[in-house]
Amino acid sequence: MVAFPTPSKLALEIGPLTIHFYALCIIVGVAVAIWLGDRRFRAATPFGEGVVSEVAIAAVPAGVIGGRIYHVISSPSAYFGAHGSPIDALKIWQGGLGIWGAISLGALGAYVRYRSMRRSIDLPSFSIFLDALAPGILFAQAIGRFGNWFNGELFGRPLDTWWALDVPSRFRPIGYSEFESFHPTFLYEAIWCVLVATLLMKFGKSLRSGQVFAAYVAAYCCARFFIELIRIDSANTIAGLRVNVWVSMMMGLGAAITFFHRGSRKNS
C-alpha cells in the first residue's frame, strides 16, 4: 500500500565536495523566491529593477538565522538536553529551520534594507514589496519541505494507504518502531503552499496593498495548524498542544485581522 519511500541518500558527493539535499532544496527555493519576487515587483513599479535581489542579500541570511534560532528555542532538548549536543545547533544541513523565525527575522532584515533604499529610490510602500514576494516565498517553502523528505523527518502519525510514506526504522520516533508507513506531512504542506501561491497570483491583483502577504500568512497558518496536530516528532507543548499549534493560531488570527483591516483602507 506504500506509495513512495524515504530517500536512502542524504547528500550528493562529488569528489571531496558534499552537497546535502536539504541545503540544496533551501537554495533552490530561495532562488525561485527571488526570481518570482523580482518579476512581480518590477511589474508593480518602474523602479523595481534589482531591488529584490539587493534586499535578499540582507533578508536571506537573516531568515536562515531566525529560522534556526526559532527551531533551537522551540526544541531545546535536542541540543541542550541530557542526550543533546550544543554544537549540533550549528548544523543547519541536518534540518531544523522554524518558518516563524525565518519569516520574522527575514522580514525585519528586508524592511531595514528596503527602507534604506527608499531614501535614494522612489519605491512604493513596504507592504507592496511584501505582496510581490508572497507567492515566491510559498513556492520556496514548498521546495524546502522536500529537504525534510530527504532527511527523513517531520512526518505524521502512522498511515496505511497508497499515499503513505515508508520511513526506515532509524528515523522512526520512540514508540513507533513497529510502524512502517506514516503521513507525508511535508508533502501536504508543499501541495498547500503551491495551491495558495497559485491562487494569490491569480486573484491577488484585486486585493489592496498588504492583503496578499496577509492572506499568505493566514492561509499558511490554517494548514500548519492541522498539520501540527498529526505530526509525531518531539516538540514542546503548552496545555497539551504543540507550541507551533498555538503560534499558528495567533499568527493566523493576526494575519486575518490585518487582511480585513487592509481591505477597509485605501491602497498605500
How confident is the model over 150-173, as pLDDT tens digits? 999 989 999 999 999 999 999 999
Residue 35 identity (one-letter amino acid): W
Is residue 243 within 8 A of residue 234, CB to CB? The reply is no
Chain mean pLDDT for the chain: 91
Is residue 135 within 8 A of residue 29, CB to CB? The reply is no
Give tens-digit pLDDT for 27-49.
Answer: 999 999 999 999 999 999 998 89
CA trace torsion 212, 207, 112, 105 (10° rounding): -20
What is the pLDDT confidence band of residue 267, given thresholds at 50, 70 and 90?
very low
Residue 103 phi/psi, 5° resolution? Answer: -70, -45
| pTM for this prediction | 0.91
Give tens-digit pLDDT for 121-143.
Answer: 999 999 999 999 999 999 999 99
pLDDT (0 to 100) of residue 268: 45
What is the pLDDT confidence band of residue 15, given thresholds at 50, 70 and 90?
confident
Is residue 222 within 8 A of residue 257, CB to CB? The reply is no
pLDDT (0 to 100) of residue 226: 96
Task: Give the mean pLDDT of 102-128.
Answer: 93
pLDDT (0 to 100) of residue 236: 82
Give tens-digit pLDDT for 171-195.
Answer: 999 899 999 999 999 999 999 999 9
**Nearest by Cα to 40 from 139, 133, 142:** 133
Percent of the chain with pLDDT over 70: 96
SS3 label, residue 234: coil
pLDDT (0 to 100) of residue 265: 67
Beta-strand relationship, 4-5 and 11-14: unpaired
